[in-house]
Amino acid sequence: MRHIYSAIMAITAPLMNDAAPKPNEGARPLALARWLEFVAGFVVLIVLVGGITRLTESGLSITEWNLATGILPPLSNEAWLAEFDKYKATPEYRLESSIGGMTLAEFQFIYFWEWFHRLLARTVGLAFALPLVWFWVKGAIPQGFKPRLIGLLALGGLQGLFGWLMVQSGLVGDMTDVSHFRLSLHLLTALLLLGALVWTARDMRHLAKDPHARPAPLTGASLAVAGVLFVQLLLGAWVAGLNAGHAAYDWPTMNGRFFPEVSFQQGFFYALTHDPFLLQFLHRWWAWIAVAALVYLARRVRKFDRFASIAVHSAFGVMVLLGIATVMTQVELWVAAAHQLTGALLVASTAWAMHSDGLAHRVPDPEQA
């Protein structure tokens, strides 16, 4: 936990301190902004593929984590059979075989999505680390931003570690799915990384226009909106991890009732964190609180940054519609995947708007007042 805290503080501490960095002649903030935006786009792609991996029940198909040798998939029939045998030892396969079994071709399908997800994770790590070294050696990083970039790199590494811990949780005992708590940690860390990449890229673009520009501060309003959105994303991750999207396929009611039947036999807190009916209900209706908060943020920045305001409105509008469609199509693969993709885009657009809110409502320097 100490390492997690250190990585997050390395990213967020510069946001709390909006002192103007001293310009250095070799700095290339615009180039860094474009690089960070590229990496952010890569993270969005990984979130999408991660969603498909979950929806196709592919996450436990690779039972080992080999950082170097796992880059290539099995290249021979014997290698495929060896990987299939490893999967057959998992509780998930034992459940699958009791239902109807699985062919090698079906295993290759789920293996592909998990392998592709891991390949993208490795690639984005290199896409961040190698240019970072180059910018560092060339002296192109603006003063004051090195700790934040190191923090982003550390957060990316932690996110990968959380992914493996998530997979491990589904390979022990009689577990046939990964822990929804670890899944939420894996997903929310990726979304935090995405938001931090967007924020830092916006700081770099601002600095490219004005070498004396200060980083945008976090405002109280933005923090409140981020808190509301965090709850919605957490609920969504738990719904995904518990397959709670299948609890009800009608809308706005759930199985014909406004409030679903929920079991509190194991206590309220257990139901709040485990009951699929209650979690789908909360995810449905907390969404409207999140919408209200996002509308408020978008209106705050509309005059200062119209495009950020439009991006937030568009993202949450599409996400709500896709959420309803996901339920009513009985969690159809591509609809549900699009819902998760839009969630990532919503985080990116919200980070953009929060950054603009910091610039628009910055407290003036005393000497400039």
The DSSP H or E segment spanning 339 is helix 333-360
What is the maximum span of the chain, computed from C-alpha positions, in angstroms?
Answer: 74
Euclidean distance between CA atoms 25 and 27, whole angstroms: 6
311, 314, 317, 323 alpha-carbon torsion, rounded to 10°: -80
Phi, psi of 363 (to 5 degrees): -75, 125
175: left (phi over 0), alpha (psi -120 to 50) or beta: beta
The pTM for the full model equals 0.89
Nearest alpha-carbon partner for 241 in 194, 175, 145: 175
256: left (phi over 0), alpha (psi -120 to 50) or beta: left
CA angle 356, 303, 216 (to 5 degrees): 15
- C-alpha of 78 from chain center: 36
Q: Can you read off the two tokens belonging to residue 88?
A: 């057959």
Q: What is the pLDDT of residue 101?
A: 74
Domain boundaries, the chain: 1-215, 218-362
Torsion sign (Cα): 301, 306, 308, 311: positive
Q: Which residues contact 73 (CB under 8 A, 6 or more apart)?
A: 111, 112, 115
- Match 């738990």 to its residue by tokens: 238
pLDDT in tens, the chain (369 residues): 555 445 455 555 554 455 555 556 667 899 999 999 999 999 999 999 999 999 999 988 888 887 766 788 889 999 999 999 998 888 888 877 666 678 899 999 999 999 999 999 999 999 999 999 999 999 999 988 999 999 999 999 999 999 999 988 888 777 678 899 999 999 999 999 999 999 999 999 999 988 888 889 999 999 999 999 999 999 999 999 999 999 999 999 999 998 888 888 899 999 999 999 999 999 999 999 999 999 999 999 999 999 999 999 999 999 999 999 999 999 999 999 999 999 999 999 999 999 999 998 775 654 444
Q: Is 8 exposed, middle or buried (0-12, 13-18, 19+ CB in 10 A)?
A: middle
Q: What is the pLDDT of residue 32?
A: 96
Q: What is the pLDDT of residue 46?
A: 96
Q: What is the pLDDT of residue 368?
A: 45
Query: Is the Cβ–Cβ distance between 65 and 164 less than 8 Å?
Result: yes
